[in-house]
Amino acid sequence: MDKKRIFITVVIALWIMLIWGHSMQPATVSEQESGRVLYYLGKIFPALLANEGGMVIVRKAAHITEFLILGILLTVAFSNKIYGRFNRFTTPALTGLFIAFIDETIQLFVVGRSGEVRDLWFDFGGVVLGTLIALAFSSGKRTRRKY
């Protein structure tokens, strides 16, 4: 394994640890973290503070953002190992879905948290979006497979 591949693998492992670390936080800690983000975003977008919907938006945006970055990282990691447009999309997307499934399952065992199917869809949407972004930027830079 070359240095570049080792680096991206370590970055992915650290990112997954960050995602799962957030899921292991009790509900009170998670709400405080989201509240801090909402406070600062509310200074830029005051409408977010108008009602409880602002907190929902921040929390769902966090799901999408975490997994969008994961989708980009997974696509980069798999980019030279997988051939065919379908496989280059589905492999990182399904890997991200599996990671999201574990993420929501972790929350079933944390005080005040619950694993939600709705959040799984937000996570998967983030992975798909990240995968598509990474593929769009890498599509012209890939060499053909040599037999």
Give SS3 for 14. Answer: helix
- Rounded Cα distance between 51 and 49, Å, is 6
Q: pLDDT value at position 147?
A: 43
Query: What is the torsion angle, in degrees rounded to the nearest 10, for the CA atoms of residue 79, residue 122, residue 44 and residue 51?
Result: 180
108 CB-near residues (< 8 Å, 6+ apart): 114, 115
Decide: 34 and 62 in contact? Cβ < 8 Å.
yes
- Rounded Cα distance between 73 and 15, Å, is 9
pLDDT tens, residue by residue, 25-81: 998 898 899 889 988 888 888 887 878 888 888 889 999 999 999 999 999 999 877
Q: Which of 16-20, 47-51, 91-95, 106-110 has the least mean pLDDT?
A: 47-51
Q: pLDDT value at position 141?
A: 57
- Rounded Cα distance between 27 and 12, Å, is 25
